[in-house]
Structure 1
Amino acid sequence: MNDNNKQLKLAFIGGGNNSAVGYVHFAASQLDNKFAVVAGAFSRNPDENSATAQRWGVSEKHLYNDWQELVEQEKNHVDAFVILTPTPHHIEVITTLLKANLPIICEKALVTGPAEVAEIEACYDKNKHFLAVTYNYSGYAMVRELKHLVKQGALGTIQKIHLEMPQEGFRRPPDIAGKPSMPQAWRLKDFEVPTICLDLGVHLHHLSTYLLEMEPTETIAQFTNHSQYPNLIDDVNMLLNYPNNIKGSMWMSKTAIGHRNGLQIRIYGDKGSARWFQLNPDELELNYNDGRREILDRAGQCEYANQFRYNRMKPGHPTGFVEAFSNLYTDIYEELCCYLAGTDKKNDYVFGLEQAKDGLNLFKAAKKSNESRSWEELIK
């Protein structure tokens, strides 16, 4: 196994200064000193590409204007390639890297739908390849505490789970550095799976699977357009059935004015319930059937989130999105070290092709349900 103090080397494909997610990935990968970004083809725009390399301290010798040249020149010098291009471009990069047996860290969504998953499966060998997809919201300390409570039976037998992720970006684009951040062109087109499901829905699917450790079996869904962009799904409501008679729902929206990112989890058992709201990430609201109501935070009686790795700063100084992402990058580091050393260690927080496939199958079934106006079973 690699020395845990040894940095692993990353090459970024995409993720430049003009990217929606690039700087977050860069910052998160650096926070615990596990990775060094040493090479990249950050942007198709040569000026942006060069400016990103300068900002991040990447040598011009390891900067490329073509991602395929980056792969060819750096494949023997880096430990993994990070894919940060728009989702429709992922399939070409992923299949190229898999055929070369090169480790991959990929921004969600993995690809645009089950048809592209099938293309990946044609060249993917789980015993030979490393493929991690970044679902960062399960990196929050109190979401991990919630999973621990569920597994310990603190809420009793789980009966219901409701997840939502309302945003206002299509109706009120967020200001970034004083300028409205308009939707990227690829986000204004739907693919085999609606783009809102690729953007927001895969997070909700991941969180439900992460907490329940099971997949839904069927769904009924309603897709809507409420924005100024015609023929584009921007609001989705779904009901879900899970094994063991567990019921659920998901709501995602790009047109919910007043919500910057209203990610919320509510989970109910026969002994109690829990609520976690991303804009108040260090607190978990708990209610029990004897009438007790508790607010659990990192300074409370946490059994999982009290670990040093989740307390870079003492409670009272809230953790946030980048820290959650960094928690995931540390998990990926541990799994990648095992992979590179040829040892078999499955990290409970690193997810790859199988969960990506399940999520995309869920939203394809939801699309079919919207058309049939009936419940649709999920196909494994």
Structure 2
Amino acid sequence: MSKQIQQPLAQPLKLGVIGGGVNSAVGYAHYVAAQLDNKWQIVSGFFSRDPSTNRQTAEEWHIPDFAQYDSWQAYIQAEKQNLDAVVVLSPTPKHAEMVCYLIEQGIPVICEKAMTANTGDSLKIKHALDQFGGFLAITFNYSGYSMVRELKKRIQDGELGKLLQIQIEMPSDAFINQMAQGKPQDWRLADGEIPTILLDLAVHLHHLIGFVSEKTPQKVMADFHHFSKFDGIIDDAYIWGNYSDDMKASIWLSKTAYGYKNGLNIRVFGDQGSAQWYQETPDILKITNRESVEMQYNRGNALNQDSIVERFKPGHPTGFVEAFANLYSDIADNLCRYQSQPEMFEFDEQVFGWDHAHEGLMMLKKATESSKKGCWVQVD
């Protein structure tokens, strides 16, 4: 039988929020996903520097006894005794300052991907963790889909044999769609050490490759492009990677691909078979065997039922928010273990922290270097 969502906690963990206001691209998804299984309750927040947006978010999210503060630091100082964790949903370039501050205050942190905008800021977080200890989980939410976890388990069980290559893509037309409303946020239109499109999309692709294969990048080659009306940024990228155990990876991400909205697609090829998962049909996993016979699995007939989370019976497809909620449920369980035995704590295989996030940033930094030089670049 498929497992139900893990047993509810005796009381929901109390979650504070920095950023993620009603004008945010990610805030509402976190608001819904965090509370879907009653393991978290959002009790307070500093959602925006704009007082009216801050207040409006609190009203729409039904935050009781909401208090308005002049800064996120003042919010943390006033509310930290009433929080089990804080989720950071600010723009990526602001993450490092906030995450380091929370770690120094002894507050467990959940951070929206990308962890930071550059590797230097990532190392600042590592220094804070080394100095103060603490709990830091990064929200790579696509591995929350049950059938992605099923794919991982099948690979672990050797069903595909030795992994030869992974092809993965995430195209959209966000920067060229003539029907798009408004201009992207300013921070998304400025590239730094790592182009912002890589921080937005490629960190997910690095994560999914590592999640399902348990391989690490060794060297990369990349070719970056600009096709949109927004000058001075990368908006389309190819990355090729050599991974541990001689596995190859081909990565494409774009915001200038007409007809795509979030075309996340992963294909895994081994010497005994292959597999494919496409996010727009999230409950379907296709497996092809050595005789090139294709089999199709879903939550109802998956072989590894422990990897399947059920809120409702198969045939009623799951989606983005449910996958995000699976991750939030796992983070809650990990935080409870951390609270009981912090000195013995390690994340389970569903939740990822600084090491994995930093590996992705290093890979993307080297990919940026490769695109400029036109050659392969070592990652490690």
Q: Where does residue 207 of structure 1 map in the other structure?
A: 208
- Partner residue, 1:302: 303
Whether 1:242 and 2:247 are equivalent positions in the alignment is no
Written as runs of structure 1 = structure 2, the 5 A alignment for 1:7-46 is: 7-46=12-51
Normalising to structure 2: TM-score of the pair? 0.94
Q: Tell me: CA distance 1:5–1:262, structure 2 relative to 1, closer, same or farther (3 Å).
A: same
User: Which stretch of the first structure deviates more once superposed, 59-68 or 274-283?
Assistant: 59-68
Letter in 2 for 1:210: F
Shift of residue 109 of structure 1? 0.3
The one-character-per-residue Cα deviations of 1:146-179 (angstroms, maximum 9, x if unpaired) are: 000000011111111111000110011776xxxx
Corresponding position of 2:219: 218
- Distance in 1 (CA, whole Å) between partners of 2:66 and 2:59 is 12
Residue in structure 2 matching 1:57, options 62, 72, 91 = 62
1:233 corresponds to: 234
Alpha-carbon separation, structure 1, partners of 2:10 and 2:183: 41
| Preserved contact between residue 282 and residue 318 of structure 2 (Cα < 8 Å) | yes
What are the within-5 Å matches in structure 2 for residues 97-116 of structure 1?
Answer: 97-116=102-121
User: Counterpart of 1:291?
Assistant: 292
Moved more, 65-74 or 326-335: 65-74
The worse-fitting range, judged by mean Cα deviation, of 296-305 and 70-79 is 296-305
1:197 alignment partner AA: L
Supply the AA of the counterpart residue of 1:249. S
1:129 and 2:134 correspond? yes
1:64 deviation in Å? 2.9
| Structure 2 counterpart of 1:141 | 146
Structure 2: distance between partners of 1:60 and 1:47: 16
Report the Cα offset of residue 337 of structure 1.
0.7
Q: Which consecutive segments of 4 or more residues in structure 1 shift more than 2 A?
A: 2-5, 59-65, 125-128, 304-307, 342-346
Give CA deviations for 1:73-124 in whole Å, capped at 9, x if unaligned. 1111100011000001111111111111211000000000111112222221
- Correspondence list, 1:1-380, <5 A: 4-125=9-130, 128-172=133-177, 180-304=181-305, 307=308, 310-343=309-342, 344-379=345-380
Return closer, same or farther for 1:42/1:272 CA change in 2, 3 Å cut-off: same
The alignment-based identity, stated in percent, is 43
Segments of 5+ residues of structure 2 without an aligned counterpart are 1-6
Distance (whole Å) between structure 1 residues aligned to residue 149 and residue 373 of structure 2: 37
Which range is displaced more, 122-131 or 258-267? Answer: 122-131
Distance 1:325 1:214 in 2: 23
Aligned residue type for 2:140 = Y
Q: Deviations over 1:5-64 (max 9, x none)?
A: 321001100011111000100100111000000010011121111111111111344443
Cα pair 1:174 1:181 within 8 Å, conserved = no
Unaligned runs of 5+ in 1: none
Write the distance in 1 (CA, Å) between the matches of 2:132 and 2:58.
Answer: 34
Question: For 1:14 and 1:274, how far apart are their aligned partners in 2?
Answer: 38
Q: Does the 8 Å contact 1:187/1:195 carry over to 2?
A: yes
Question: Residue type of the partner of 2:320?
Answer: F
Cα distance in structure 2, aligned partners of 1:340 and 1:63: 29
CA distance in 2 between counterparts of 1:263 and 1:173 reads: 22
User: CA 1:141–1:62 in 2, change beyond 3 Å: closer, same or farther?
Assistant: same
Offset, 1:293:
1.0
Please give the per-residue CA displacement for 1:183-204, whole angstroms capped at 9, x wherever unaligned: 1110000011110110000000
- Shifted more, 335-344 versus 105-114: the winner is 335-344
Counterpart contact for 1:163–1:263, Cα < 8 Å:
yes
Q: Return the alpha-carbon distance in structure 2 between the equivalents of residues 10 and 63 of structure 1.
A: 17
Change (3 A) 1:75 1:213: same
Query: Relative to structure 1, is the Cα distance of residues 127 and 50 closer, same or farther in structure 2, using a 3 angstrom cutoff?
Result: closer
Whether the 8 Å CA contact 1:39–1:63 is kept in 2: the answer is no
Q: Secondary structure at the match of 1:232?
A: coil
Cα deviations across residues 121-153 of structure 1 (Å, max 9, x unaligned)? 222139821000000000000000000000001
Structure 1 CA distance for aligned equivalents of residues 302 and 216 of structure 2: 30
Q: Is the 8 A contact 1:8 1:79 kept in 2?
A: yes
Paired residue type of 1:316: G
State the alpha-carbon separation in 1 of the partners of residues 279 and 224 from structure 2.
Answer: 24
Rounded Cα–Cα distance in structure 2 between residues aligned with 1:301 and 1:338? 29
Aligned partners of 1:134 and 1:80: how far apart in 2?
Answer: 14
Checking the alignment, whether the CA contact within 8 Å between 2:137 and 2:351 is kept in structure 1 is: yes
The one-letter code sitting in structure 1 at the alignment partner of 2:333 is E
